[in-house]
Amino acid sequence: MRIVSLLPSTTEIVCALGLEDELVGITHECDFPASVTGKPRLTSSRISQETMTSKEIDHAVRSQLAQLDGHGSIYDLDEARLRELNPDLILTQELCDVCAVSYKTVERAARMFEAGVRVVSLEPNTIGDIFENIRTVGELTERNSAAAQLVGDLNTRLDRVRELTARVDYRPRTLMLEWLEPAFAPGHWVPEQVAIAGGDQGFGQPGRPSQTTTAEEIRDHAPEVIVLIPCGYYKEDILRQLPSANLPAGWENLPAVRNGEVWATDATSYFSRPGPRVVEGVEILARILHPEVFGPPTNDQALRV
């Protein structure tokens, strides 16, 4: 089978199922496992995250998506290269126009193939959905057994964290900030990650898209721990952006800030991408929230800022 993955998360899933050799095309953002980086890249971004501030990126994204009566895109697809690769299966999504190339663009490109190519859209909103996506990819690629084994192993790791956090008496009010400027409250699977890791997940909506929030809402929540997880960022990106970010009013008076409980993590690796590593994200969060139980996070996992 010749597989094209138009999502970094599905690239991770495909490789975790032992199908890296069948992967013939990826996105410009696919960087895990590192061994895929030499494969043909079929997408590019119209926005330069490396040179723009958090506020500038937000404005550019909104402007691009507003074009063409709300059907704009911030990504381009190399349709000619896609046809050359002649895939049997294209894995993509419709969930978020900020996360990947437009599904309509992928469909249109697929119709140009002389032979049939299957386009499958994966739409996870929860951790359970992510695991179901793993099973779906396993079924599509005849790797059902490997998918079942992977999901079983991931559930075992989550159960281990749940067992330990079920005994804690204190669940700190936790703010997972999914964008710096403007501030975004968490959604989708992130509140679940907080709950399993032993935090109070009252800020954000599980299974729903992340949304902008206000300084007043953040102050009312009075977070005791803040974890910075701007979508698509690594720790280094967060540290680069912080000095220029206009953080919500009253930030310096929040309990987490006063007590030095503000953390930066690799959001791209453990929180933004709906792939197997969301479980590692839970394990890292558990170390941040309950170091007395799990031990403190290493510098590779999270940095106090």
Q: Which residue, chain included where needed, has tokens 């359970």?
A: 128
Per-residue model confidence (pLDDT) at position 64: 57
How many C-beta atoms lie closer than 10 Å to residue 47's C-beta?
A: 17
Per-residue model confidence (pLDDT) at position 93: 78
**Rounded Cα distance, 222 and 227, in Å:** 13
Q: Which residue, chain included where needed, has tokens 């964290």?
A: 161
pTM of the model: 0.91
List the chain residues with pLDDT less than 50: 68-71
Q: What are phi and psi of 49, to 5 degrees?
A: -65, -30
Per-residue model confidence (pLDDT) at position 96: 57
